[in-house]
Chain A
Amino acid sequence: EVQLVDSGGDLVQPGGSLRLSCATSGFTFSDHYMDWVRQAPGKGLEWVGRTRNKANEYTTEYAASVKDRFTISRDESKNSLYMQMNSLKTEDTAMYYCARSVGDFRRFDLWGQGTLVTVSS
């Protein structure tokens, strides 16, 4: 089955760290760009960052709000995507979704179910 399964969300104090995971199955992981999108409680969608595919050397892009604090990586042997989140702020509280990005237009055609990160003291 083609799917993404998000995990790793938790309650963490401001200034703390957390690593999110996205387990993939049913498709060739190395062929695809992968993205993270978040949604604060009751708010809209915010793109967080992207890792390109193997052909594009897994290079990354980030939103300004998380650049230098969050790092996206992937483990091809485990078909998994990760996001290391450091120096967390209360405004990082959100549901985090991984998404697969496909085609010339890089549309987000497959999404995980989301994992909740709460940053609070």
Chain B
Amino acid sequence: DIQLTQSPSFLSASVGDRVTITCRASQAISNYLAWYQQKAGKAPKLLIFAASTLQSGVPSRFSGSGSGTEFTLTISSLQPEDFATYYCQHLNTYPITFGQGTRLEIK
């Protein structure tokens, strides 16, 4: 199985900050990577797919990059509504797996 390791697991930041979350895959997955945002008590929401393609309706302050085994999600200027947990997901082979999550909290 492909393992995804996110770093950091916890991040404290302020409104207006630029933040980056990293996702490393245990083997190459080309660009078969997606990012999701989950708020407490809610279903996940798709942000980015194919490593760098912004899902329709997602604000442009979110961006993704990477290929192979290392990927990043960047939020260029944090807004109050961005404080949530973020997960990466690979879609390269079965089983599909998710990273362990990065919890982003207000400093």
Give A residues with C-beta under 8 Å from B: 35, 37, 44-47, 50, 61, 63-64, 97, 103-109, 111-114
Contacts and interface: CB of A to CB of B under 8 A. Distances in A.
B95 interface: yes
Contact of A112 (B43, B49, B55, B98): B43
Contacts of A106: 91
A105 B34 contact: yes
B98 to A, nearest CB: 4
Interface in B13-33: 31-32
* Majority secondary structure, B binding face: loop
Contacts of A64: 95
Contacts of B95: 47, 61, 63-64
Of the four ranges (under 10, 10 to 19, 20 to 34, 35 or more), the interface on chain B belongs to 20 to 34
Contact of B98 (A46, A50, A104): A46
Interface string B53-97: 001000000000000000000000000000000010101001111
Interface string B31-47: 11010101000011110
B100 interface: yes
A107 B34 contact: yes
A109 B46 contact: yes
B27 to A, nearest CB: 17
Given A105-B49, A105-B50, A107-B46, A44 B87 contact: yes
Contacts of B101: 44-45
A45 B98 contact: yes
A100 to B, nearest CB: 10
Given A47-B96, A105-B32, 6 more contacts: A44-B99, A45-B98, A47-B97, A103-B49, A104-B50, A107-B46
B44 A44 contact: no
29 contacts: A44-B87, A44-B98, A44-B99, A44-B101, A45-B36, A45-B38, A45-B89, A47-B96, A50-B96, A61-B94, A61-B95, A63-B95, A97-B43, A97-B44, A103-B49, A104-B50, A105-B31, A105-B49, A105-B91, A106-B91, A107-B34, A107-B46, A107-B50, A107-B55, A108-B34, A108-B46, A108-B89, A111-B44, A112-B43
